[in-house]
Structure 1
């Protein structure tokens, strides 16, 4: 079978990129379009990049985008009236650190369908899957879970080192999986 030289060169270039750096697993699997971030200076969260698309459909289909209140490149701009989250940092079940954001949202500000019951994004997937969306990650942490519930007007994100602190339960609502501040949602 003949494979054009140009195709081989491109494939080798991609292979070199994949193996060139022994940096963290996060760097190897994440990008500006699928990275969650929480720190005192700002945050990024995943959401559908297609207006009105259901949350539960956007992750498996790869139709997500990272939206940040201070984007640095490749991310979408989080509208200032979308979310005023409460930041909390703590130690988890086994003593590992976690950081989280919880609060009420304005679904229309980000083009979300206000009747959508919502869904969950996470780094680990279920049943051995590679995350939802595939390859997504939280900057500086080994695991994350994010849930957006437009119909309930709330969202929550937790980034953690221990997977026990980021429980994956697609049927559970924000207050059950990430207890926090949801005033009047």
Structure 2
């Protein structure tokens, strides 16, 4: 009987040990496992923090990055150009400075029928006559003023193959006109003198004329279009006839401007 009681005591201790072990195992699981309500709240908190925090973006590389930088560069360049680009007004086409007048009209019909703009006052320099020069023509032509028959010692007319201009070049005897002594010459064009024009191009078309008494030569080129700075380059006013109006300045029979 004593042995039976002892066995009962041992069996009871075994059962209690097993029960304690089972309880500790489940208790460990409860400690490591998050309650359902706690999991839900923690998930909401995590989502909220991700929404508020700006996500990290890795740097773009390769072709996409190059294209992105090119687009940004173009935008910056366009903005800079639009901001800093100065306003540029188109240069107005040079026009005659006054109404057309017979006294300021030159023309080229032939070597014996043409007109030049020359000083209207005795001893006036051509450079000073750019504002008040008057048209003079060959003897027998239809104009108000004529120069003497032996004033022109040689002349030739030529035209551009495309019809863009017509010109006359030649030599003169400065002693046959009232030029200023040792006058190096000057230039007339569609802006000087007032209302000057050439009948070849019509009113408003381009022309250039240079008369150089000290070099014994003259030249006149009339262009068909307005402001023709290729064929009637008004910026060559100090370059002389051979540059401004390339042509013939030496003639048969020993006649030469030089």
Normalization by structure 1: what TM-score? 0.73
- Paired with 1:179 and 1:54, the residues of 2 have a C-alpha distance of 24
| 1:72-111 superposed Cα distances (whole Å, 9 cap, x missing partner) | 24x20121111131111123xxx44311111111112121
Which residue of structure 2 lines up, in the alignment, with residue 181 of structure 1? 248
Of the three residues 76, 81, 87, the one matched with 2:145 is 76
Q: Which runs of 5+ in 2 are unaligned?
A: 1-94, 251-255
Residues 51-70 of structure 1 mapped to structure 2, 5 A cutoff: 51-60=122-131, 62=132, 64-69=133-138, 70=140
Give the SS at the match of 2:108: strand
- Equivalent position to 1:171, from 228, 238, 241: 238
- Residue of structure 2 equivalent to 1:20: none
Match of 2:214 in 1: 151
Does 2:149 correspond to 1:86? Answer: no
TM-score relative to the length of structure 2: 0.53
Mean Cα displacement is larger for which, 170-179 or 96-105? 96-105
- After TM superposition, the structure 1 = structure 2 runs for residues 1-185 of structure 1, keeping only pairs within 5 Å, are 29-40=99-110, 42-60=113-131, 62=132, 64-69=133-138, 70-73=140-143, 75-83=144-152, 84-91=154-161, 95-123=162-190, 131-141=191-201, 142-162=205-225, 163=228, 164-168=230-234, 169-183=236-250, 184-185=256-257
Structure with more helix by fraction? 2
Q: Following TM superposition, where does structure 1 have runs of at least 4 consecutive aligned residues deviating by more than 3 angstroms?
A: none
Structure 1 or 2: more strand by fraction: 1
Tell me, in whole angstroms, the C-alpha distance in 1 between the residues paired with 2:220 and 2:187: 10
Q: Specify which structure has the bigger relative contact order, considering alpha-carbon pairs within 8 angstroms and separated by 6 or more residues.
A: 1
